[in-house]
Amino acid sequence: MIAEDLLDLAPVIPVVVLDDAEAAVPLARALVEGGLPVIEVTLRTPSAVEAITRIATEVPDAVVGAGTVVRPEDAETSAAAGARFLVSPGCTSRLQAAMVATGLPFLPGVATASEAIALLEGGITAMKFFPAEAAGGAPYLKALGGPLPGIRFCPTGGVSRGNAADYLALRNVACVGGTWLTPADAVRDGDWDRIRELASEAASLR
């Protein structure tokens, strides 16, 4: 799978921060059942790598990836754990090389035209726009589409059920990502019905 195809699998990519790997499988099942099969588990907690492995092994209908890939070694660790894609909040040439080396599709993060052009020079046309709301939101991303029409973005960072549709209406937005699908209290309480409903609502956005 190439990154462009990854962007087309679902209108929303849940960004998941998991403190307990035990929650990974029921959480992933709820998201898949709600209609969101692409799941980004962020490498922000000690249990993230274990969570990726569990989802990859036990939830075959999920397409699980690693987010918050910031160190070159994170790329290989994630691939070895079973991640099927990688997402980074920004990019450097070393990080880019490490992600390429895994053979996995990846979404490198950008927030400016220069960062996007640097990646374009490497043949990359699928990117994360981060931090979406703080960097200028949907109007800013729409403006980038004028001179850079060949890039398709997944905006994340401040995207929510209230503004996701504004981004999805843009020609250069393929899908959006965010943590609003997996509220911390719902994950802690094992309220998978609520998460399934949030996923279902988001899955119908496009």
Cα–Cα distance for residue pair 17/131, rounded to 1 Å: 17
Q: Which of residues 28-57 bind ligand 3PG (CB under 6 A)?
A: 42
* Smallest separation (angstroms) from ligand 3PG to the CB of 130: 6
Question: Judged by CB under 6 A, which stretch of 2-10, 69-77, 96-104, 173-181 contacts ligand 3PG?
Answer: 173-181
- 15 sits near ligand 3PG (criterion: CB under 6 A): yes
Kindly state whether residue 67 participates in binding ligand 3PG, applying the rule CB under 6 A.
yes
21 contacts ligand 3PG (rule: CB under 6 A): no
Angle between helix axes 48-58 and 72-81 (nearest 10 degrees) is 30
Q: Within 13 Å and on the Cβ side, how many CA atoms surround 91?
A: 30
Single out the residue of 86, 141, 178, 192 in contact with ligand 3PG (rule: CB under 6 A).
178
For the chain, counts of helices (H) and of strands (E): 11, 9
**Mind telling me the catalytic residues?**
40, 128
d(CA 85, CA 124): 14
**Of how many residues is the chain composed?**
206
Binding site for ligand 3PG (CB under 6 A): 15, 42, 67-68, 130, 156-159, 177-179
